[in-house]
Structure 1
Amino acid sequence: MEKKAFRQQQIQRLSQMTAEERVAQNLSLQNQLFTSTAWQQAQIVAITISSAIEVDTRPFVKRAWDEGKTVVIPKTLPHRQMAFYPYTDASQLTRTKFGILEPADGTPVAKQAIDLILVPGLGYSRTECARIGFGGGYYDRYLADFTGVKLTLAYRQMVFDHPEWPVDEFDILLDQLLVAKDDNNEHN
């Protein structure tokens, strides 16, 4: 399936999740993230402000702040580039043409200072840790020379055994993929 069609299919699938499904899967993902070595060792964590169909990132931000970690969020730049800026409860945010909240001002954090990036997307493959994002290529460009941990948290609806979309040579593979556990298998 071509990427554009796959993205539309995934947006529709994710839009149909019930509030109960979202809450249960978000809790599973929070538990997995907060006990992961990548999270525990990170001092500077890059996180997006999630949209309604994505894994809820607000609890990650709050927990990072509570643990004294620095949270940085992305700001889009010309030529499909982006940078990460410090995010606190006092940060001023603006909404982009994509509907994403990003920092209005501040000083970008050096890429090499970031320990962990929670990479957003619409679909992930278990075998290759390939991802398909929203189509701008911002993350693939940014991650091309990123040396920290590239981790994704995924609802079960986002995960496939093998990519069901074309994986291009410029697509950056993830280091870790955490998938929400099924309620019935939570303790397995």
Structure 2
Amino acid sequence: MKEQIRKEMLGRLRDLPSRDRIRMEQELTTAVCNSNEWRASKTIGVTWSIFPEIDTHKIIQTGLEEGKRIVVPYSGKDRVMTFHEYSPDTAMSRSKFGIMEPVDKRNPVPPEAIDLLLVPGLAFSETGYRIGFGGGYYDRYLAAYNGHTLSVLFPFQLFKDPHWEIEAFDVPVQKLLTTAF
């Protein structure tokens, strides 16, 4: 079931008309950067997005402009994810999953130093449970993370009743932000 939903959501994300995507991404960026969680946070973890994901580059740029410490994930061995400080001069390279990650993996930022984590996903229940991209990296990370969690999503990614099984290791996202379609 999860694989079917992943495939459907990736298709819908790819097929979303550019004008709708741009408008909704702008609204989501504004909503994130105006949220109480964002305002209260000094260190923010965020994935360097790639199409067809919701674009996070403006969120990262805004955080840097506001003097926030931005940390980005690295997908390590044994499906263990670590976060590393990001600045515009951080060397990045494409991972085996196709996502951009920091080249320098020394000095990971511990979970307790991250105030807010923007959690990616493909489908979300109204109670914050999510279907990610299938690697389990975020599920493992969230199991030991105690800060605030927030996800941004397009309206079609939100399910009133989850059409998938919630598993024991699933950790719900605390706050979901979406837009009108």
How high is the TM-score relative to the length of structure 2? 0.97
Aligned residue number for residue 37 of structure 2: 38
The alignment partner of 1:45 has SS state of strand
**Matched residues in 2 for 1:30 and 1:89: separation?**
19
**Matched residues in 2 for 1:108 and 1:145: separation?**
15
Aligned residue number for residue 111 of structure 1: 111
Query: Does residue 1:146 correspond to 2:148, yes or no?
Result: no
> Given that residues 156 and 179 in structure 1 are in contact (C-alpha distance below 8 angstroms), is that contact kept between their aligned partners in structure 2?
yes
Q: 1:22-46: CA deviations, max 9, x gaps? A: 1111111112111110000000000
The alignment partner of 2:117 has SS state of strand
Structure 1 unaligned regions, length at least 5: 183-188
**Matched residues in 1 for 2:75 and 2:96: separation?**
10
What do you get for the CA RMSD once the two structures are aligned? 0.9
Aligned residue number for residue 131 of structure 2: 132
Aligned residue number for residue 172 of structure 2: 173
Residue 13 (structure 1) shift? 1.1
Aligned residue number for residue 9 of structure 1: 8
**Matched residues in 2 for 1:51 and 1:167: separation?**
26
The one-letter amino acid of 2:33's match is F
> Given that residues 14 and 157 in structure 1 are in contact (C-alpha distance below 8 angstroms), is that contact kept between their aligned partners in structure 2?
no
The alignment partner of 1:22 has SS state of helix
**Matched residues in 2 for 1:48 and 1:149: separation?**
15
**Matched residues in 1 for 2:153 and 2:60: separation?**
17
Aligned residue number for residue 62 of structure 1: 61
The one-letter amino acid of 1:25's match is M
Structure 2 unaligned regions, length at least 5: none
Residue 121 (structure 1) shift? 0.6
Which runs of at least 4 in structure 1 moved beyond 4 Å after TM superposition?
none
What percent of counterpart residues are identical? Answer: 36
How high is the TM-score relative to the length of structure 1? 0.93
